[in-house]
Amino acid sequence: MKTKRDRVVAIVPAAGLGKRFGEEKNKPFYSLFGKPLIIWSLQALQAVEEITEIVPVLKENDLIMCGDLVEQYNITKVKRIVPGGKERQDSVYNGIKTVDDKTSVVLIHDGARPLIESDIVRKSLKELKDCDGVVVGVPVKDTIKEVHGSSLMAHGKEEVIVKNTLNRNVLWAIQTPQVFFFEKIRDAYVKAAADRYYATDDAALIEQYGGKIKIIMGSYRNIKITTPEDIDIAEALLKGG
């Protein structure tokens, strides 16, 4: 029998606008090998015994469709579906607010990462000890250069100049899932909301307020679907086994 400390709530943000994926396509429901993208993530989390509840977070207009799919694919751990916010961080915060047991563990996994392996989810939960959070990642393979200005400049006509070449031996590309003790991540979100501080991942909020984050090895297969080309990559990975 599970103790309260073993209660794990998985929050699955999938409420983004998906501008890079194409405005005419609704990314959470885009077909990957005949199955909606978000269902891949939900089924992977459903298969992890340690997870007791799954909370998908979607755009208001997508809630009914997601509910129909949850029923169709028998995702029994979904008890509620939550509307998202303006930014990903706001959406995750909406999911965190639904957790009513302060002794819970919160696991956050992007709905756009369909190839997550259940063993990696279990390992991330197991490693949540002697730290405030655990994130999954992989060492970077490419040379990384820091530039003057924003990387968004590369999509325009502005000239992009290199500022520095970083040491890739100490750089990791961070993925999800990310796992936290509920009170730690809730408190970080409350402070970030008060400070209007936004970050690109959940662990950065813990880091911002002095917490300790552990990284464990993920998988290079655990890609995030951001552009239509990523669907082709995911299909190739699935075909390859």
Position 221 pLDDT exceeds 70: yes
User: How confident is residue 21, by pLDDT bands cut at 50, 70 and 90?
Assistant: low
Mean pLDDT of the chain: 91
Domain regions of the chain by residue span: 4-240
Given the DSSP bridges, would you call strands 145-147 and 172-181 parallel, antiparallel or unpaired? Answer: unpaired
Q: Which of 29-33, 69-73, 147-151 has the lowest mean pLDDT?
A: 147-151
What is the pTM assigned to this prediction?
Answer: 0.92
User: How confident is residue 149, by pLDDT bands cut at 50, 70 and 90?
Assistant: confident
Position 241 pLDDT exceeds 80: no
String of DSSP letters for 209-236: TT--EEEEE--TT-----SHHHHHHHHH
Instruction: Return the CATH class of domain 4-240.
Output: alpha beta
Position 92 pLDDT exceeds 90: yes
- Give the per-residue pLDDT at 3: 41
